[in-house]
Amino acid sequence: MWARATAGIVPGFFLSAAIVGLASWLLPGPWQSTLVLGGLAFFPVWVGVFCLGFLFRSGARAWLAYSLLAAAGLAGLALLRHLQWVQ
């Protein structure tokens, strides 16, 4: 149980940041206009990711899934920035 909880806390934080960041960058208009809304949405998204971590069969699976998803999400943010699709 502790492994699933820490998976929701540590890589879940980065996964939530990637989700909110992608949503902020992909919405129409400048990303600065979604900064406050993204900041307000971050905590509920993180709590949702944390709670979903308990649906995994083991802590190792939760850590693996959340780590891979967080890495993919943050890589997506870096790719969007590298391709200059966002400013």
DSSP-assigned letters across all residues of the chain: -HHHHHHHHHHHHHHHHHHHHHHHHHSSS-GGGGHHHHHHHHHHHHHHHHHHGGGSSSHHHHHHHHHHHHHHHHHHHHHHHHTTS--
Q: How confident is the model at residue 39 (pLDDT cuts 50, 70, 90)?
A: very high
pLDDT on residue 68:
98
Q: How confident is the model at residue 31 (pLDDT cuts 50, 70, 90)?
A: confident
Q: What is the pTM of this model?
A: 0.91
Q: Is the pLDDT of residue 2 over 90?
A: yes
**Measured CA distances, 50 to 9, 55, 58 (Å):** 6, 10, 14
